[in-house]
Chains A and B, each alone.
Chain A
Amino acid sequence: MSELIKGKPTSRRAFLRGSVAAAAGAVAAGTAQAGTPDPLITEVQPWANGFGDGVDATPYGLPIQYESDVIRRNVEWLTADTTSSINFTPIHALDGTITPQGCAFERHHSGAIDLRKEDYRLMINGLVDTPLVFTYADLERFPRENHVYFCECAANTGMEWAGAQLNGAQFTHGMIHNMEYTGVPLRTLLEEAGLDVAGDLKDKWVYVEGADASSNGRSIPMAKALGDCLVAFKANGEALRKEHGYPVRLVVPGWEGNMWVKWLRRIEVTDAAVESREETSKYTDTLADGTSRKWTWVMDAKSIITSPSPQAPITHGTGPLVITGLAWSGHGAITRVDVSKDGGKTWETARLAKPGEAKALTRFYLDTTWDGEEMLLQSRAMDETGYIQPTKAQLREVRGENSIYHNNCIQTWWVRPNGEAENVEIS
């Protein structure tokens, strides 16, 4: 390949620095009809007269080098060690709704383990007629389904309770991904083991546990387990990535990501919640008076403008502007998203790219014109239950500032005349 093609990609910082100049340039370009001819057009470029890569240059393709900053990022000060930590999906740089596995956020409690399909075993025990062990090959013989679901960590936006803290949609809202899963309904496996011995299923639970050293375990009420939970082994058409639980993870649609146990190894029917570490000392939401809510599983409706945003400033000057973002609800489908440019004084209803799907990300667009004035951008989601995404003030009024989890408040980006955006809190 020629040196030109391999040219060093512009760094994001340089890109940000150049944004003001670029904005000014765009204005000029629009009017300078009689300017110099563009050499990219008038001169034959290397890629237009030589060869590109042959097939198999990369047997499994990665994004082109110019996209090398569209990656997961970690906030180091959040945790003591990367083996028990979280990173963030670069939602500011993605579009559509499906999250590529390679940049979908990771959350591990004891590191992402290396578990071969051949070494994989899944046990069902407890209050079942016949405790069973399945191999990976067994799972592939059950009838399977395909569904698109979002997976959001309950701590997403958790650093923003006390104030605007992290400057980027990736960091404030990036503990989320959305994939098409292929798997076997959990119900099918429970019925395979038989639930007659469990008696009345109303007060029964299903405890699920992972194969890694943390053996993260969560208790799920039987109704949910027999509802839409999926024992998944494919995501976006291919095997799960190691960091997302290869070869098998649990999908618990609409509920907090911690319950989506990775490297799923054991399913137990119990007569009570186990009250494991992750459902008592963590993933419980402390209110202002010191009492804490437990079993807050559902992720309420939420939305975020992904562009413009701090990591995705406006670089093109005034005129046509696409404001876009994501909305989702653990209670069902998104029915509407409103966008405000003035911090919530007035709202316009955005266009949904497709009708909302239950418990999956919905992409919205507001195709608008920017006059170059500053904006206080907000988005507000509504779901099929009629729920309206609350403001930060509304949330705090009910919960105080110490809940950590389930912060689904309306986010504000302050876009300035130079196109840069910042995470702010407003009155």
Chain B
Amino acid sequence: MSKFLKFTLVTGLAISATATAVWAAPFGLGRPALLEEIAAWDVKVMPDGRGLPEGRGDVETGDEVFGDQCAVCHGDFAEGVGNWPKLAGGWGTLDHDDPLKTVGSYWPYLSTLWDYVNRSMPFGNAQTLSPDEVYAIVAYILYSNNLVEDDFELSHENFMDVELPNAGGFIVDDRAETEYAIWHGEPCMENCKDTVEITMRARVLDVTPDDADSTATPEPAAEPEQKAEASAEPAPVAVAAVDPALIEAGEKAFRKCSACHQVGEGASNRAGPALNGIMWHPAGSVDGFKYSGALQAMAEGGLVWTEETLSAFLESPKGFMKGTKMGFAGLKSADERAAIAAYLASFSE
């Protein structure tokens, strides 16, 4: 700690000039953190359970909360939807080709799960769960992995009783012994091998993204205009107003929606319906999506999605449509609402 001393000597004058500082520090910069501030930000939970708040939640409650908050991406049974993480299954696959790494098959500490759900989930709406809800979700994920029974309740009291199956499956980095010691010395420069043959080619597999020329082409206006001509019959006025900059802004704003809605090529229904072709069409007409009674009723009453109606809905979903399933707080910015409408309009056939 000789550095402390040196700093103190060099900056001694500065410190005496700011004598109001109540703590002894080399530079006297910053201010003491308040307990409330530390409590707000320091939410980590350690493997030994330190940091866990009091609370409890059972599997049954967890099933419900998980269904509402997590199943969109992780599936009703924590089995994962599409490319989203699978949280259950994969037991005994770690030594197979392509092991399936889930909470049950891979994660070493339950604290990690509690900590991560609490700080980072739900995706796009982090830090909104109560401690009881987090306990319940964690209990449900344990249940999905056959690690507890359906009447199990997890709490701060029994938390440390749960041991995950792969807790002993990790070793600390041993590359110094297993690798560095071998791959060392003077490398071969000549006659290093007799034959060389190509055993695998990336082109055969062909999973490299197609070249991004289309995004690099400096003529963004061309395509929307052509589209506008093609779709000119149903709604010529609205389509004629296509503004590439607005659509681009809409694409950005749409990220707020993308946890639940897909749009574009290959879009499918998720927590919310796919949104291709919804503009200027009657509400509630996306195939295969189970709409709320509230939306169906308004659709029967003649609701058509236009810039005005969509904007009103997005401004206050529950105000515009009491009983809607859309769990979205609303979008204050009129500009963003208009941009989203324009963006969705660009996906109308």
B161 within 8 A of A: no
A371 within 8 A of B: no
Given the contacts A275-B47, A275-B109, A346 and B189 also touching, CB distance less than 8 Å: yes
A107–B171 Cα distance when bound, in Å, is: 27
A268–B42 Cα distance when bound, in Å, is: 9
Given the contacts A274-B46, A344-B196, A385 and B180 also touching, CB distance less than 8 Å: yes
Residues of A within 8 A of B174 (CB): 293
Which of chain A's residues has its CB closest to B22's CB? Answer: A130
Which of chain B's residues has its CB closest to A391's CB? Answer: B183
B169 within 8 A of A: yes
Across the interface, do A167 and B120 meet the contact criterion of CB distance under 8 Å?
Answer: no
Stretch at the interface among B52-60, B212-220, B277-285: B212-220
Residues of A within 8 A of B180 (CB): 385, 387
Given the contacts A79-B83, A214-B120, A286-B94, A280 and B25 also touching, CB distance less than 8 Å: no
B188 within 8 A of A: yes
Stretch at the interface among A64-72, A98-106, A230-238: A64-72
> In this complex, which of A126, A167, A300 has the most chain B Cβ atoms within 10 angstroms of its Cβ?
A167
**How many contacts between A and B, using CB within 8 angstroms?**
281
Per the 8 Å Cβ criterion, residues 86-122 of B in contact with A are: 94-95, 97-99, 101, 103, 106-109, 111-112, 115-116, 119-120
A418–B217 Cα distance when bound, in Å, is: 27
A283–B101 Cα distance when bound, in Å, is: 12
A144 within 8 A of B: no
Per the 8 Å Cβ criterion, residues 132-177 of B in contact with A are: 169-175
Across the interface, do A167 and B169 meet the contact criterion of CB distance under 8 Å?
Answer: no
A382 within 8 A of B: yes
Across the interface, do B184 and A69 meet the contact criterion of CB distance under 8 Å?
Answer: no
Across the interface, do B216 and A68 meet the contact criterion of CB distance under 8 Å?
Answer: yes
Residues of A within 8 A of B193 (CB): 343-345
Q: Which of A69, A196, A272, A425 contacts B216 (CB 8 A)?
A: A69
Q: Which of B116, B169, B191 contacts A276 (CB 8 A)?
A: B116
B7 within 8 A of A: yes
Across the interface, do B209 and A422 meet the contact criterion of CB distance under 8 Å?
Answer: no
B20 within 8 A of A: no
Stretch at the interface among B32-40, B63-71, B292-300, B328-336: B32-40
Across the interface, do A80 and B82 meet the contact criterion of CB distance under 8 Å?
Answer: yes
Interface 0/1 of A92-131, CB less than 8 Å to B: 0000000000000000011100000000000111100111
Across the interface, do A192 and B27 meet the contact criterion of CB distance under 8 Å?
Answer: yes
Residues of B within 8 A of A369 (CB): none
A80–B259 Cα distance when bound, in Å, is: 10
Across the interface, do B30 and A132 meet the contact criterion of CB distance under 8 Å?
Answer: yes
Per the 8 Å Cβ criterion, residues 175-217 of B in contact with A are: 175, 178-180, 182-185, 187-193, 195-203, 205, 207-209, 211-213, 215-217
Across the interface, do B126 and A80 meet the contact criterion of CB distance under 8 Å?
Answer: no
Interface 0/1 of A390-427, CB less than 8 Å to B: 10001000100110000000000010000000111111
Across the interface, do B46 and A192 meet the contact criterion of CB distance under 8 Å?
Answer: no
Residues of B within 8 A of A110 (CB): 120, 123-124, 126
Given the contacts A275-B111, A387-B180, A192 and B187 also touching, CB distance less than 8 Å: no
Residues of B within 8 A of A293 (CB): 170-175
Given the contacts A80-B73, A281-B107, A424-B198, A12 and B23 also touching, CB distance less than 8 Å: no
Q: Which of A280, A346, A380 contacts B109 (CB 8 A)?
A: A280
Across the interface, do A213 and B126 meet the contact criterion of CB distance under 8 Å?
Answer: yes
A386 within 8 A of B: yes
Residues of B within 8 A of A401 (CB): 97
Residues of B within 8 A of A195 (CB): 1
Residues of B within 8 A of A45 (CB): none
A281–B85 Cα distance when bound, in Å, is: 11
A176–B48 Cα distance when bound, in Å, is: 36
Across the interface, do B198 and A347 meet the contact criterion of CB distance under 8 Å?
Answer: no
Across the interface, do A83 and B171 meet the contact criterion of CB distance under 8 Å?
Answer: no
Main secondary structure of the interface of B (DSSP, over half): loop
Q: Which of B1, B4, B169, B200 contacts A292 (CB 8 A)?
A: B169
Q: Which of B32, B111, B185, B201 contacts A424 (CB 8 A)?
A: B201
A77–B27 Cα distance when bound, in Å, is: 50
Residues of B within 8 A of A152 (CB): none
A138 within 8 A of B: yes
Across the interface, do B207 and A166 meet the contact criterion of CB distance under 8 Å?
Answer: yes
Which of chain A's residues has its CB closest to B193's CB? Answer: A345
Across the interface, do A166 and B106 meet the contact criterion of CB distance under 8 Å?
Answer: no
Given the contacts A274-B46, A277-B120, A281-B101, A141 and B27 also touching, CB distance less than 8 Å: yes
Residues of A within 8 A of B103 (CB): 281
Closest Cβ of chain A to B295, distance in Å, is 25
Which of chain A's residues has its CB closest to B33's CB? Answer: A131
Residues of B within 8 A of A312 (CB): none
Q: Which of B3, B98, B178 contacts A191 (CB 8 A)?
A: B3
A74 within 8 A of B: yes
Residues of A within 8 A of B172 (CB): 293-295
A359 within 8 A of B: no
Closest Cβ of chain A to B266, distance in Å, is 10
Residues of A within 8 A of B218 (CB): 8-9, 65, 68
Given the contacts A213-B120, A272-B46, A347 and B196 also touching, CB distance less than 8 Å: no
Closest Cβ of chain B to A409, distance in Å, is 11
Which of chain B's residues has its CB closest to A423's CB? Answer: B202
Closest Cβ of chain B to A376, distance in Å, is 6
Across the interface, do A12 and B198 meet the contact criterion of CB distance under 8 Å?
Answer: no
A202 within 8 A of B: no
Which of chain A's residues has its CB closest to B109's CB? Answer: A275
Across the interface, do B94 and A346 meet the contact criterion of CB distance under 8 Å?
Answer: no
Interface 0/1 of A161-188, CB less than 8 Å to B: 0111111100100000000000000011
> In this complex, which of B25, B41, B47 has the most chain A Cβ atoms within 10 angstroms of its Cβ?
B41
Q: Which of A124, A163, A376 contacts B196 (CB 8 A)?
A: A376
B26 within 8 A of A: yes
A242 within 8 A of B: no
A133 within 8 A of B: yes
Smallest CB-CB A-B distances: 10 pairs: A290-B95, A343-B196, A290-B94, A80-B83, A423-B202, A131-B33, A425-B200, A213-B126, A132-B30, A167-B202
User: Could you give 26 example pairs across A and B, Cβ below 8 Å?
Assistant: A13-B211, A77-B207, A130-B25, A132-B30, A164-B201, A188-B27, A192-B27, A192-B29, A192-B30, A272-B46, A272-B48, A275-B112, A276-B115, A280-B109, A292-B106, A292-B169, A293-B170, A293-B173, A295-B172, A296-B175, A345-B191, A390-B179, A401-B97, A402-B99, A426-B197, A426-B199
Chain A interface (Cβ < 8 Å from any Cβ of B): 8-9, 11-13, 65, 68-69, 71, 73-77, 79-81, 83-84, 109-111, 123-126, 129-135, 138, 141-142, 162-168, 171, 187-188, 191-196, 207, 209, 213-215, 217, 265-266, 268, 270, 272, 274-277, 280-281, 284, 286, 288-298, 300, 310, 338, 342-347, 376, 380, 382, 385-390, 394, 398, 401-402, 414, 422-427
